[in-house]
Amino acid sequence: MEGLPKFICECCGQLIDQWPALAFGTPSPYFELTEEEKRKLARVSSDFCIIAHPDQTDRFIRAVMYQKVNDHCTDLEYGIWVSLSEKSFLDYHENFNRDDYEATYFGYISNVLPDYPDMLFIPAKVVTRIGGQRPEIFPHEDFDHPFVRDYYQGISKIEAERRIKELFLNKLPKN
Ligand SMILES: [Zn+2]
């Protein structure tokens, strides 16, 4: 693909594209707030987001998810957000600077990926990783949703490249 760096793959020995992570800077519920609401109700950093509505507070953390690609050597990486309960959010926050903290939380996927209906509120397991890496998301396999089916069945390389074009390459600044 044009516009991507290349590297020699250890798996097949071929010169292949270095796929970018498809990352979202904020959870979708934050993105949907007005500028005034963002200032008044929300706090966001690279790894945490809190939205304090009058009637409820929503808490999100940044995580990663790997979409299996069936006919290629590498998976497609997503940087997406999940909502957590207050208890889980505080536990993650308190231990954020520990490299060896192991925990598993329940959360809901909180970004909208193109071409999938009703993306929000897909239940997921969120597993912390050692060594300062962001937690990994595993959607619940028994949840009936096209996104969950693709996650477990894998997608094609062509589909992965289509997503990279749609979410990443189209957003690169044009020179
Ligand atoms: Zn390869």
Each residue's pLDDT tens digit, 101-151? 999 999 999 999 988 988 888 999 999 999 889 999 999 999 999 999 999
Q: Which residue has the tokens 């060594």?
A: 131
Measure the CA–CA gap between 52 and 72, rounded to whole angstroms: 42
Q: E strands of the chain, at which residues?
A: 6-8, 15-17, 22-23, 42-44, 48-52, 57-67, 76-84, 104-109, 123-127, 136-139
Tell me the pTM: 0.91
Expressed in angstroms and rounded, the spacing between residue 73 Cα and the centre of ligand 1 is 4
Expressed in angstroms and rounded, the spacing between residue 68 Cα and the centre of ligand 1 is 14
pLDDT, averaged across the chain: 93
Q: Is the pLDDT of residue 163 over 90?
A: yes
Measure the CA–CA gap between 20 and 93, rounded to whole angstroms: 27
Measure the CA–CA gap between 139 and 65, rounded to whole angstroms: 9
Expressed in angstroms and rounded, the spacing between residue 102 Cα and the centre of ligand 1 is 31
Residues within 5 A (CB) of ion ligand 1: 9, 11-12, 73
Count, in order, helices (H) and strands (E) of the chain.
Answer: 5, 10
Percent of the chain with pLDDT over 90: 83
User: Which one, of 16, 56, 50, 10, lies nearest residue 30 by Cα?
Assistant: 50
State pLDDT tens for residues 99-113. Answer: 899 999 999 999 999
Q: Which amino acid is residue 143, in one-letter code?
A: F
Q: What six digits make up the tokens of 146? A: 């096209």
pLDDT given for residue 173 in this prediction: 54
Measure the CA–CA gap between 138 and 104, rounded to whole angstroms: 11
Domain boundaries of the chain, sorted by first residue: 20-25+63-171
Q: Which amino acid is residue 24, in one-letter code?
A: F
User: Which one, of 23, 42, 46, 44, lies nearest residue 33 by Cα?
Assistant: 42
State pLDDT tens for residues 69-86. Answer: 999 999 999 999 999 999
Instruction: Please report which confidence band the pLDDT of residue 2 belongs to, taking 50, 70 and 90 as the band edges.
Output: confident
Measure the CA–CA gap between 24 and 137, rounded to whole angstroms: 14
